[in-house]
């Protein structure tokens, strides 16, 4: 979680551990603080935490149309492992991505 100077949450990440894997469930930034590197900072911290905890990989799902998120994950080394067709309510596919640790 990232907070501003007045302790207001401006970004957070939510993950769960599944035996020796970590799954990123959500990473979000308040709209007024988007494109300032908070998502990348949280993601890099999460990757480091997963490594230090002995996880073998980090998993996530992302909407195929969410190009900024896909770019963020790709830059961090995530690779697409599969697809869930029509996964989201709007009919968008979910891409399954993984980072081997």
| Domains of the chain from N-terminus onward | 2-100 (3.40.630.30)
Q: Is 77 left (phi over 0), alpha (psi -120 to 50) or beta?
A: left
Q: Give tens-digit pLDDT for 9-67.
A: 888 999 999 999 999 999 988 888 778 788 899 999 999 999 999 999 999 999 999 99
What is the predicted pLDDT for the residue at 10? 81
Q: Which of 35, 32, 37, 28 is nearest to 1 (CA)?
A: 28
Q: Give tens-digit pLDDT for 68-83.
A: 999 999 999 999 999 9
pLDDT band, residue 3 (cuts 50/70/90): low
């Amino acid at each position: 979680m990232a907070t501003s100077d007045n302790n207001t949450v401006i970004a957070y990440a939510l993950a769960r551990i599944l035996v020796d894997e970590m799954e990123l469930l959500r990473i979000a930034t308040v709209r007024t603080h988007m494109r300032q590197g908070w998502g990348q900072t949280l993601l890099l911290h999460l990757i480091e935490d997963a490594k230090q905890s002995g996880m073998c990989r980090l998993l996530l799902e992302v909407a195929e149309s969410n190009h900024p998120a896909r770019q963020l994950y790709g830059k961090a080394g995530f690779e697409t492992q599969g697809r869930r067709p029509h996964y989201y309510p709007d009919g968008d596919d979910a891409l399954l991505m993984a980072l081997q640790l």
